[in-house]
Amino acid sequence: MSSTPAPQVRENALPPEFVSRLRQIVPEESFPEILASFERPKRTIFRVNWLKITPDALEEELKSAGLHPIPFPSLEGVFTLPDDERRRLTETPAFYEGRLYIQNPSSMLAPLLLDPQPGESVLDLAAAPGGKTLLLASMMQNRGILSAVEPVTERYHRLRRNLENAGATMVRTYRKDGRGVGRACPLMFDRVLLDAPCSSEAKFSTLRPQSFSYWSLRKVKESQRLQKRLILSAWESLKPGGTLLYSTCSFAPEENEEVVAYLLKKFPESARVVPMKLPIDRWQEGLSRWGKKSFPPSFSSLRRILPDENFDGFFLAKIVKNV
Ligand code: SAM
C-alpha cells in the first residue's frame, strides 16, 4: 500500500473501496492529482467533423459567432474553448448541423489507434451514441464498410440520429446484441473496435453523485462477464491479419487486463498484443499483476490514460490476429 497522503477531497465523496483500489492501480505519484480530478468539471473539448468541414473553416465559423476556439495540442482538428462558452457552442449551427462533435480526447484515441483505412471492412461492436463511429467514418472518408452494433433501443436511435446528422452515410447500423455477431459474421472484418460497456469508473464525478451510486465490485465483475463474451465475439468476426482495439472507461483491471488475458489464453497461437504510439503522454503501462494474477510482459504495451481536467481515464489495448 502507498503512503502518499490523500488530497483534500470531500469525505466519502467517492466509494471508499473504489478509492482504495484506484490507489493500487495508478502510479503513486499521480494518485493525489487523479483523485482530485473527480472533483472538477472537465474542459469542453470538441473535434471537427472532417466529413463536413476543415479545421480552419470551423475555427473561422466559430470565431464569426463570437466564440474563442483554441486548438488543442497534439490532436489535429481538435479544439477547446473557455468554459463559459460551452452553452453558446451548443447553440451554434455548426453544433446542431454536425460540423463539430463534443468528445473527450481520450475517446478519440481508440479510433485513431485502430487506424481504419478507406475501403476496408470495419466493425464497431458497441457503438452508441456513436462518437467513435463518427470518427471511424471520417477516417475512412465514408468509403468501405462500417458496421455499427447497438442493442439498446433508445441508444440505437440516438446513434442513428447522430450518424445522419454528421453525414456518416457509409455506416450500416444493427440493433443487435454484440455477443452474437462473431457467430453470424465470422472472419469478416479487417478491424474491430470494441469500446465495451463497463462500470464507467472514469466517468465518476463528485459533482454528480448519481455517476457512482450504482458502483460495486459486483458490478465490476458483472461487466467483466459481458466483456469476455463480447471480446470473443469481436475476435471471431476478425479476419486473420486483422486488428482489434479493445477499450473501456474503467480503471478496473478485472475489466481491462483480465479481459485481454482471457482472450490471449483462449487463442495463444493467434492473439498478440502490439505496441501503440499515443499522441499524448498522460498514460501508464498495463499492469504486470493484480492481486494473485500476473500478466504477460507484452502487457507493458497496454495503456491506461490518466485523467486530469482535459482527459477522461481510459484503457486501450491493440491486439492483432496472426495470419
Ligand atoms: N463507442 C461509443 C461511443 O464512443 O459513442 C460508446 C459505447 S458505450 C462505452 C458501450 C455501449 O455498449 C453502450 O451503448 C451499451 O448500450 C452497449 N452495449 C451494452 N450491451 C451490449 C451488448 N451485449 N452488445 C453490444 N453493445 C452493448
241: left (phi over 0), alpha (psi -120 to 50) or beta: left
Whether residue 52 has its Cβ less than 6 Å from ligand 1: no
How far from the centroid of its chain's Cα atoms is residue 188's Cα? 23
Give me ligand 1 centre to Cα 21, in Å. Answer: 25
Cβ(202) – ligand 1 distance below 6 Å: no
Cβ of 126 closer than 6 Å to ligand 1, yes or no, is yes
Between the CA of residue 205 and those of 37, 39, 120, 167, 290, what are the distances in Å? 8, 6, 38, 33, 25
Task: Give Cα 109 to chain centroid, integer Å.
Answer: 7
* Cβ–Cβ under 8 Å, residues 18 and 254: no
Q: Which of 149, 150, 256 to mutate to test the pocket of ligand 1 (most atoms within 8 A of CB)?
A: 150
**pLDDT tens across the length of the chain (323 residues):** 444 454 555 546 899 999 999 999 999 999 999 999 999 999 999 999 999 999 999 999 999 999 999 999 999 999 999 999 999 999 999 999 999 999 999 999 999 999 999 999 999 999 999 999 999 999 999 999 999 999 999 999 999 999 999 999 999 999 999 999 999 999 999 999 999 999 999 999 999 999 999 999 999 999 999 999 999 999 999 999 999 999 999 999 999 999 999 999 999 999 999 999 999 999 999 999 999 999 999 999 999 999 999 999 999 999 999 98
CA distance 287 to 93: 44
CATH numeric code, 104-321? 3.40.50.150
Question: Measured between alpha carbons, how far is 219 from 214 in angstroms, rounded to an integer?
Answer: 8
Residue 25 has what DSSP assignment? H
Q: Which residues are catalytic?
A: 249
Q: Is 151 in the pocket of ligand 1 (CB under 6 A)?
A: yes
Helix axes 105-114 and 131-139, enclosed angle (nearest 10): 40
Cα of 304 from ligand 1 centre, angstroms? 20
